[in-house]
Structure 1
């Protein structure tokens, strides 16, 4: 099985969880970054004009995913880790799934 762990984190908590999965599976870690990168002000969910708030309210606002140099189509298993913002995935995860959907061999289900 060829696998990789893709994750997005701002506070570091998701990275800790991703590292635990990496230890258990032996799969490499791939940190996802937005272009342009999120700043501390961008993720201030209490501010109505913060980038994360705008992306939450308008799902058509999708940040670009910074290239990460992994051929997803060669993977059998893809683990995706992310924080929960407003009871859903951050926009960068929607971007990742939208951008790389055709390269994923497995069906992607959101629940």
Structure 2
């Protein structure tokens, strides 16, 4: 059975790709803590993925109004909260990229890897 193309499948694809890219950055950071410059560039490139994900999310909300997930959200979620969430993600990516490059000799790779995965550093 072929997969259907549409706003929901596009969103799922964009979401999976973004999460995969974030996880790859964590793996690269943990494997090579000295690759800060390269990872910082990758983080900056992920900003475009966040905008694509937001567009896919908005298209899903507009084109899939009968979807239970869309109906479960308040009416202002897509016009107000979603852009704020995406802006926060972009700000975090840029901050983390800056942190990787400008460390002042401090070891930030483990802390940043934990922030990206949502765990607390020990």
Question: Shorter-normalised TM-score: what interval?
Answer: under 0.3
- TM-score, structure 1 normalization: 0.24
Q: Which has the higher strand share?
A: 1
Q: Which has the higher helix share?
A: 2
- TM-score, structure 2 normalization: 0.22
Look at both structures and tell me which one has the larger radius of gyration over its CA atoms.
2
